């Protein structure tokens, strides 16, 4: 019997497959042996530049490093240490370097939370701030793109002489995949920029992965914003759910995007062979388990791997605070979307998000539930305490034994972009 642990709280949840069920996983690429050395090598041979980051920094007195707040803190620390060492070697002191915390969805992180995320003594001498989407006095209007998107930017980044962004590469429910450049319009700006950028979803239906498609409206809009802001350097990493580094891309932002697309379409990244009847997954990390945004992205990623009427079994603690009555009231996917995006500044219609979910049914699994929801045909969404019950729901309308795809890495699963 196959046993796979899924991230949930401190202990995780173990899925045990039954003997009559075909269970498979994608073969993920082996992690790098020495992440620190690999980052240093990337900084010395940056994509799109003939100079190193050290050479670039020698000509500057101040730096701002944008950090993805929803990326695991230990991963951010591993990226930042060689970056900071390089900046110091160029002549900068900690007083000249700002760490700016942001997220692809603009959550309001307090300065106290920002400090807690960098409690390591390595960072005690640095100025650490959190971007606040509604703090208009901290924003500066840089102008508009050719399509009229107003570009408001956090002044602390704009005022730095060298601008650096670090983050990860994950699936995204609208843009196929996301990378650090999306922090600019979606995490470091004001509501006007965020809402205008999300409306570009209507313009990107021709490509499954518009961020990596140089002909897409989103790509052209994003590269314009990168040029307007003057971002100098990006470090993007691929990690697995154990926070091991799978790949590192650093250098000129536009070149990094191209290189990521090329690598994610290579033979080194696995193809999932055929669509599954059931996908069992999660966000991939307890760090993002309480983030509605990352849960939504994980759900939409799973949908691309399911058969037309497949079932998603999804492990999350997101609804642990709901009582039985509140969970019973969630019957359809529209209800789920309403819960996930209510009171958010995305300004995207529920129909747009629903189009990412097609015909799938969703079974949320958490051991904290006091009871399961009723097992009936009227529900598109179920809540179960155990995997066994969830699999029963998934098998209900199948005329054969289900083919189950396990994705315990969640959003950190490096699925190949090129579909077979």
120, 117, 97: which is closest to 109 by C-alpha? 117
Position 16 scores a pLDDT of 84
Is the pLDDT confidence value at 208 over 80?
no
Name the fold adopted by 3-28+270-412.
2-enoyl-CoA Hydratase; Chain A, domain 1 (3.90.226)
Position 263 scores a pLDDT of 83
Of the pLDDT bands very low, low, confident and very high (cuts 50, 70, 90), residue 375 is: confident
Position 229 scores a pLDDT of 93
The span from the CA of 196 to the CA of 181, in Å, is: 16
pLDDT in tens, 189-203: 888 888 888 777 655
Report residue 395 CA to chain centroid gap: 30
Domain ranges of the chain: 3-28+270-412, 35-264
Of the pLDDT bands very low, low, confident and very high (cuts 50, 70, 90), residue 398 is: confident
pLDDT in tens, 112-171: 666 677 777 778 889 888 888 878 888 999 999 998 999 999 999 999 999 999 988 877
**131 vs 309: which has the higher pLDDT:** 131
CB-hemisphere CA count at 13 Å for 96? 17
Position 210 scores a pLDDT of 76
Position 190 scores a pLDDT of 86
Q: Please, are residues 81 and 43 in contact by the beta-carbon 8 Å criterion?
A: no
pLDDT in tens, 225-240: 999 999 999 999 988 7
Position 173 scores a pLDDT of 66
Position 341 scores a pLDDT of 67
Position 61 scores a pLDDT of 95
Share of the chain above pLDDT 90, in %: 35
Share of the chain above pLDDT 70, in %: 87
CB-hemisphere CA count at 13 Å for 109? 26
Q: Please, are residues 382 and 10 in contact by the beta-carbon 8 Å criterion?
A: no
Position 132 scores a pLDDT of 82
Average pLDDT, the chain: 84
Average pLDDT (65-93) is 91
pLDDT in tens, 12-37: 889 987 777 788 777 777 888 888 89
Is the pLDDT confidence value at 419 over 90?
no
**pTM for the model:** 0.84
**Distance between terminal CA atoms of the chain?**
29
Name the fold adopted by 35-264.
Rossmann fold (3.40.50)
Of the pLDDT bands very low, low, confident and very high (cuts 50, 70, 90), residue 106 is: low
Position 338 scores a pLDDT of 79
270, 106, 82: which is closest to 189 by C-alpha? 106
Bridge-based pairing of strands 139-144 and 170-172 is unpaired
pLDDT in tens, 256-275: 999 988 887 776 666 677 77
Is the pLDDT confidence value at 316 over 80?
yes
């Amino acid at each position: 019997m196959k046993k796979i642990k899924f991230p949930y709280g401190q202990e995780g949840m173990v899925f045990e497959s039954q003997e009559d069920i075909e269970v498979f996983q994608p073969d993920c690429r082996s992690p790098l042996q020495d992440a620190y050395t690999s980052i240093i090598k990337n900084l010395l041979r940056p994509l799109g530049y003939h100079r190193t980051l050290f050479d670039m920094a020698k000509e500057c007195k101040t730096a701002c490093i944008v950090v993805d707040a929803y990326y695991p803190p230990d991963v951010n620390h591993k990226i930042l240490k060689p970056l900071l060492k390089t900046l110091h070697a160029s002549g900068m002191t900690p007083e000249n370097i700002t760490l700016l915390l942001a997220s692809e969805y603009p959550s309001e992180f307090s300065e106290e939370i920002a400090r807690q995320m960098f409690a390591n003594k390595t960072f005690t001498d640095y100025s650490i701030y959190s971007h606040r989407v509604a703090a208009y006095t901290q924003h500066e209007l840089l102008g508009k793109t050719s399509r009229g998107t107003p570009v408001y930017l956090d002044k602390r980044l704009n005022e730095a002489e060298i601008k650096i962004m670090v983050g990860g590469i994950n699936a995204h429910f609208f843009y196929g995949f996301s990378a650090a450049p999306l922090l600019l319009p979606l995490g470091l700006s004001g509501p006007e920029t965020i809402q205008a950028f999300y409306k570009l979803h209507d313009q990107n239906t021709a490509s499954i992965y518009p961020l990596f498609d140089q002909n897409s409206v989103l790509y052209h809009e994003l590269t314009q914003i990168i040029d307007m802001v003057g971002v100098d350097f990006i470090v993007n990493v691929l990690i697995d759910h154990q926070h091991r580094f799978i790949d590192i891309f650093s250098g000129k932002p536009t070149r990094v995007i191209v290189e990521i697309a090329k690598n994610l379409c290579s033979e080194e990244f696995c193809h999932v062979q055929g669509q599954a009847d059931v996908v069992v997954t999660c966000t991939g990390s307890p760090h993002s388990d309480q983030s509605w945004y990352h849960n939504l992205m994980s759900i939409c990623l799973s949908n691309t791997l399911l058969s037309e009427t497949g079932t998603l079994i999804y492990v999350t603690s997101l609804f642990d605070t709901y009582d039985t009555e509140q969970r019973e009231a969630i019957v359809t996917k529209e209800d789920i979307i309403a819960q996930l995006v209510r009171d958010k500044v995305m300004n995207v219609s529920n129909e747009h998000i629903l189009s990412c979910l097609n015909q799938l049914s969703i079974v949320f699994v958490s051991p904290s539930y006091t009871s399961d929801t009723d097992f009936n045909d009227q529900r598109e969404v179920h809540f179960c305490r155990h995997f066994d019950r969830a699999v029963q729901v998934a098998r209900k309308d199948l005329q054969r034994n289900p083919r189950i795809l396990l994705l315990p890495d969640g959003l950190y699963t490096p699925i190949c972009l090129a579909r077979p």
